[in-house]
Amino acid sequence: MIGPVLELRVPGVSNTPPGQVLGLRPAPGADAPPPPRLVAGGAATGFYRSPAAEPGDPVVVEAYSWGQLTSGPRTARDVERALWTLLLPFTLANVALHARPTIPADPGAERWNSSSGVTAWFIRLFCLSLTGTLALTLTAVGVDLVGWQCVDEDCLRRVPGPWEFLGQGWWSEGARALAVGLLLPLGALTLLGLVSWRTYQYEAQMPAEPTPVPRVPQPPDASADGPAQPEAGPDPPEPPSGPPGNPLQDRAFWNGEGQLRRGAVLHLCTGVVVAAAVPLGAVLAMDPPRGVRAALAWPTVAALVAVVVVAVVALARPGLTRRAGATPLGRRSGTVIVLTAAGLAGTVLVLLLPDGAAGTPLADLRPAPDCGRSAAAPTCPADRSLPGLDWIVAWLGTGQLLLLVAIGAVARSGRRALAAPAAATLLLVLGFAWSTGWLPGVPPAPTVLEFWTVVVPVVALAAAGLLLPRVPAPVGQQPLPPHTDLAWGGRAPAVIAGLGWMLCVSYSAGLLHWVTGRLNGGPVPDGLSPVASPVPVMWAGLACAGALLALAATVGRAGLLYLRLRRHEYAQATARTGTPLSAHELRRCREVSTWRALHRLVGEHAVRLVGSYAAVSLALAALACAALLSRDPPHPEEPTDGAAVIEWISEMGGRLLGWLPVLIATVGLMVYRNDLVRRSVGVVWDVGTFWPRAAHPLAPPSYAERAVPELQTRTAGLLALAEHDPRAVDGIILSGHSQGTVICAAVILQLPARSRRRIWFFSYGCQLTRLYGRVFPGYFGPDRLPVLAEALTPPGGRARWTNFWRDTDPLGWPVTAGERDLSVRDPEALHPSGGEVADPPIRNHSGYPEAPEFHRERSRVAWLLRRGVPAPRAGSG
C-alpha cells in the first residue's frame, strides 16, 4: 500500500492562524473559511488539517501552530507579554551567548579556558551584572530615594502605602529606614524568581522516542495506485553516530531545566547581595563598626562576598553551564542560598542597631527635615544621594563597558585580545588610586589633571582589542558568497549584548528619573528638588539625547540607501523588456522596485548599518563612563547660558527615558493586535526568544524549547507507524516559512537517521544565510550549514532540501547548501490576465505555497517520496 505524503508546514513569527497557513478559503456564499481540524496537540500548540482532507489524498497538508507560545489569546496573554518585554535586556544578553563565532560542534568538548569558553564566561558574567543592575536600580529607589532622601511626611505620602512612620520616631533614626527600603528590591527579585520558576516547564519538555514498527510485506496487487513497492522489512538499525558537526545535534540542547534552576539561584542570590551591599557599605564606610556591631558586620560581609565569588567561579564550570536535563540543584546551590540568607539577615540587623562612635554617623549625613520643604536651605547638601551610591553606579557601568569590550575582542581575535582590556582595567584602577591619593608611596595627582582625562585614553586602549586581526578561517573553506561573512567582523556577541546593556541602563535611568519626579510632586519653583536623582541619571539623559541623534542619523542614512537602491531597481525593471511600457506597467514597476530595494537594503546593508550605530554608541558609552567617574554633574545647580541648555537637554533626555519602559510595554501589548507592529517588532521578539536561556536564566522563556521537541515527536511518530495504520505516511515534507525554517533545521538535526531518510525540507522566506548565518555562525555559518544538508543527503545522492526565494522578499534569500534554489517570480505579471480585473499581488514575504513554482516542486518531491525512488546521484542531470 502506498501511503500519502504529509506536508507539515511550520509558519514563521506573528502567530499566523492555522487556517491561513493551510490556505483555507470561504465557500461560495460564506463569509468566513471553515475552521481547521485539530489532529494532534492542544490549544497552545496544535497540528491542524483542512476539514476537506480525505484519506486517499496523495498529499496531505498539516499546519503546526506554535504562535500561542509567544502571543496567545488577547487580554491576559497581551498583558503578560507586555510585562515580559520589560526583560528584553536579559533576552538580548542571552542571545549574545549563541552569537559566538567559535562554538565547538560538540558542546561537551568546550573548555572554559578556550576562546569560546572564555567568551561564554564573560557573557555569563555580563548577564549576572545585568541582574545586579536591576537590583541596584530598585535599591536606589527604595533605599536612597525613599529611605534616605524622603525625610518628611509630605514626601512619604506620595509613596503608595502607609510609609509615613519612616519620617518620625525610632524608624527615622540611624539607618533603620534603609532596612525598610530593602523591601522593594527584595520583593521585586522574589516576584521575578517566582515568574521564572513557573516557566521552567518549557525546558522540561522532552521528545518522545517512538518504537519503529516493522512493515508488513504486501502482495504485488495490493495497491491500485500504481506499481507495487519492493517488499520492505523493518528499518535497518541505527548506525553508530559519529562526532557531531553542529551544536544543534546535542540531545540536551533543548532541555536545560537543571541548568536553568542553578543559574537562577546564582542570579537571584547575587541580586540580593547587591541590594544588601548598598546600605551596608555606606554604614561601614561612614561609621566603621566596633564591638557587637563589628562582630556582626564582618561575618556578614564575608558571607556576601562568598556568594559573589562562588557565582563568578561557578559560571565558568561545566557543572553549571552544561545542559543536562532535569538535574537537581545540588549542595553548592544550597550553600549559596544559606550564605545569602545569612548575609541578608546580618545586613538588616546591622542597619537596625544604633549608630556607632568610630566615624561619622549616617544621621549626620542624611538631609535635614527642612530639605523636604526647601532644597535651597543652608543645611541641605548639594549631593543628597546615599554616600557611595554614585561611585557604585559609576564603577558598575565602567566595568560592564570593559567587559563588553573583552567579549567582542576575544570573540573576534581569541584569547590574545584579552591583553588590551586587561591592561586598560589595571591602568584604570591605578589611575583612580593615584587621583584619590590612595596609591602608597606616590604623591597625589595634580589638581589640573581631571580623572576623566585618564578614563578616556584607558577606554580607548581597551577598545584597541576590538581592532586586532580576526581568527583565521578554517583551512580549506571556500570563498564566501557576497554578504554572507561574519556579522560585525566576529564581534556579534558584544554588539548584541551591548544593545541589551543600553536598554537596561535606559530602563534604570528612566525609572529613577520618574520616581524622583513623583516624590517631588512635580516641578519645583526654585529649581532645586528636595529629592534628587543620582548624578549618573543626569548624565544618562545627555547620553540618551546623543544616542537618539545617532539613531536618527543611522535611519537617515538607511533612507538614502533605500532611495538609491529603488532608483537602480526601477531602472533595471523598466529596461528588462526592451519595449516601451504603458503607464500602468510603469506604475507596477515602481511598486516592484520598492520591494526589491527593501530586499537588498536588508540583505546587503542592514548588518553594516547596525554596526555603525554600535560604534557610535561605544564612543558615547566611553564618554559617559568617564563623566560618571569624574563625579561632576553635567551642569551646576543653578545653570545659566550654555549650562542651562545642557540642563534642558539632560531633563528632556531623562523624561524620554522615564517613558521608555512604558513605551516598550505598550508596544508589547499591541504587537499582536496591529499588523504593522506585529510584522516589525514581533519579528525581533520571536527571533530573540528562539534561543534557550543558557546565559540568563531570568530572561523570557524560549518557545523552541517546546516547539522543537513537539515537532520531533510528531514527525518521528508518524514515520514509525505501521503501513496498515490509516495515519501512516510514506514521507514528510517539512515545510518551514521564515522563522519556521530555523525551527525545522533544529528539528532535522535532532531527528535520528532512520527518520531523516523519509524527509524532504522545504524552506522559503529563509534567513539562514544573510541573517542567522552571519550573526550565529556557530550554528548556521558556512562550516555548519552543510551539516544540515548532509543530514538530508542519502548515500550517493543529493541533499533533500529545496529553498524558495523572491527578490521582493526582504527576509528571503538563496541558500546554496541545499539541492535546489528556486527563484519564485513575484508578481506573476505586471497586469491582469485571463479575465481577472485586479493586478496580480506582490506577495513579498508571504504566499509561497500559492506560487506555481512551489506546486511543481512539491509534486516532484511527493512523487519521489511516495515511490521510494532514491534522490538523483550527485553529478547526474
The model's pLDDT over 263-311, given as tens digits with 9 standing for 90+, comes to 999 999 999 999 999 999 988 888 788 888 889 999 999 999 999 999 9
CB-CB contact of 188 with 364 (8 Å): no
**pLDDT over 60 (residue 378):** no
pLDDT of residue 224: 34
**pLDDT over 80 (residue 628):** yes
CB-CB contact of 778 with 247 (8 Å): yes
Burial level of 163, CB count in 10 A (0-12/13-18/19+)? Answer: buried
pLDDT of residue 703: 87
**pLDDT over 50 (residue 233):** no
The region of weakest confidence among 270-274, 482-486, 768-772 is 482-486
Q: What is the mean pLDDT of residues 380-387?
A: 73
Q: Which helix (H) or strand (E) holds 759?
A: strand 759-764
Gyration radius from the chain CA atoms: 31
Q: Which of helix, strand or coil describes residue 717? A: helix
* DSSP conformational letter for 467: G
Report residue 738: phi and psi, to 5°: 55, -120
Q: What is the mean pLDDT of residues 807-812?
A: 92
Residues whose CB is less than 8 angstroms from the CB of residue 383 and which lie 6 or more positions away in sequence, other chains included: 390, 532, 535
Instruction: Provide the 10 A C-beta neighbour count for residue 563.
Output: 11
Report residue 134: phi and psi, to 5°: -60, -45
* DSSP conformational letter for 667: H
Instruction: Place 427 in a pLDDT band, splitting at 50, 70 and 90.
Output: confident
Helix axis angle, 492-520 relative to 115-139, nearest 10°? 0
pLDDT of residue 688: 85
Can you tell me the distance from the alpha carbon of 198 to that of 697, in angstroms, rounded to the nearest whole number? 12
Task: Pick 796 or 707 by higher pLDDT.
Answer: 707
- Reading the block at residue 695, the C-alpha cell is 546565559
pLDDT of residue 220: 45
pLDDT of residue 751: 93
Of 62, 279, 211, nearest to 732 (Cα)? 62
Q: What is the 3-state secondary structure (H, E, C) of 272-332?
A: HHHHHHHHHHHHHHHCCCCCHHHHHHHHHHHHHHHHHHHHHHHCCCHHHHCCCCCCCCCHH
pLDDT of residue 130: 96
Q: Give the model confidence (pLDDT) of 679-733 as tens digits.
A: 666 667 778 889 999 999 999 888 888 899 999 999 999 998 888 888 889 999 9
> Cell numbers 531623562 correspond to what residue?
654
pLDDT of residue 640: 66
Considering the chain, what is the average pLDDT of its residues?
83
The DSSP secondary structure of 218-281, one letter per residue, reads --TTS-SSSSPPPP--SPPPPPPP-S-SSGGG-TTTT--HHHHHHHHHHHHHHHHHHHHHHHHH
Q: Which helix (H) or strand (E) holds 342?
A: helix 331-352
Q: Give the model confidence (pLDDT) of 65-93 as tens digits.
A: 887 776 544 444 555 666 677 888 999 99
pLDDT of residue 381: 63
Pairing mode, strands 731-737 and 759-764: parallel
Instruction: Place 410 in a pLDDT band, splitting at 50, 70 and 90.
Output: very high
The DSSP secondary structure of 26-73, one letter per residue, reads PPTT-SSPPPPEEEEE-SSSEEEE-TT--TT-SEEEEEEE-GGGTT-S
Q: What is the mean pLDDT of residues 406-430?
A: 91
**Helix and strand numbers, DSSP H then E, in the chain:** 28, 8
Task: Evaluate if pTM is beyond 0.85.
Answer: yes
Q: What is the mean pLDDT of residues 340-363?
A: 82
**pLDDT over 90 (residue 231):** no
Helix axis angle, 257-286 relative to 389-413, nearest 10°? 140
Task: Pick 683 or 197 by higher pLDDT.
Answer: 197
Task: Pick 383 or 619 by higher pLDDT.
Answer: 619
Residues whose CB is less than 8 angstroms from the CB of residue 766 and which lie 6 or more positions away in sequence, other chains included: 736, 738, 741, 803, 804, 805, 812, 813, 815
Burial level of 149, CB count in 10 A (0-12/13-18/19+)? Answer: buried
CB-CB contact of 707 with 45 (8 Å): yes
Q: Using a pLDDT cut of 70, give the percent of the chain over it.
A: 83
Q: What is the 3-state secondary structure (H, E, C) of 383-451?
A: CCCCCCHHHHHHHHHHHHHHHHHHHHHHHHHCHHHHHHHHHHHHHHHHHHHHHCCCCCCCCCCCCCCCC
Cα distances from 105 to residues 53, 253, 413, 769, 780, in angstroms, run 42, 12, 19, 18, 11
Q: Give the model confidence (pLDDT) of 528-540 as tens digits.
A: 567 888 888 888 8
- Reading the block at residue 458, the C-alpha cell is 584607558
Give the CA-trace dihedral at 665, 671, 674, 678, to 10 degrees: 140
Of 393, 361, 367, nearest to 149 (Cα)? 367
Can you tell me the distance from the alpha carbon of 182 to that of 272, in angstroms, rounded to the nearest whole number? 9
Which stretch, 29-38, 160-169, 454-463, 750-759, has highest mean pLDDT?
750-759
Can you tell me the distance from the alpha carbon of 830 to that of 573, in angstroms, rounded to the nearest whole number? 11
- Reading the block at residue 652, the C-alpha cell is 528632556
Q: Which of helix, strand or coil describes residue 610? A: helix
Task: Pick 202 or 467 by higher pLDDT.
Answer: 467
> Cell numbers 491561513 correspond to what residue?
20
The pairs formed by 647-651 with CB atoms below 8 angstroms and a separation of 24 or more are 649/541, 649/542, 649/545, 650/538, 650/539, 650/541, 650/542, 650/545, 651/541
**pLDDT over 50 (residue 30):** yes
**pLDDT over 90 (residue 555):** yes
- Reading the block at residue 821, the C-alpha cell is 534554489
pLDDT of residue 517: 85
List, in sequence order, every residue forming a beta bridge with 64; answer none if it has no partner. 47
Question: Which amino acid would we find at residue 821?
Answer: D
Length of the chain: 877
**pLDDT over 60 (residue 871):** no
pLDDT of residue 875: 47
Task: Pick 320 or 567 by higher pLDDT.
Answer: 567
Can you tell me the distance from the alpha carbon of 702 to that of 687, in angstroms, rounded to the nearest whole number? 10
Q: What is the mean pLDDT of residues 42-68?
A: 87
pLDDT of residue 562: 96
> Cell numbers 553606579 correspond to what residue?
393
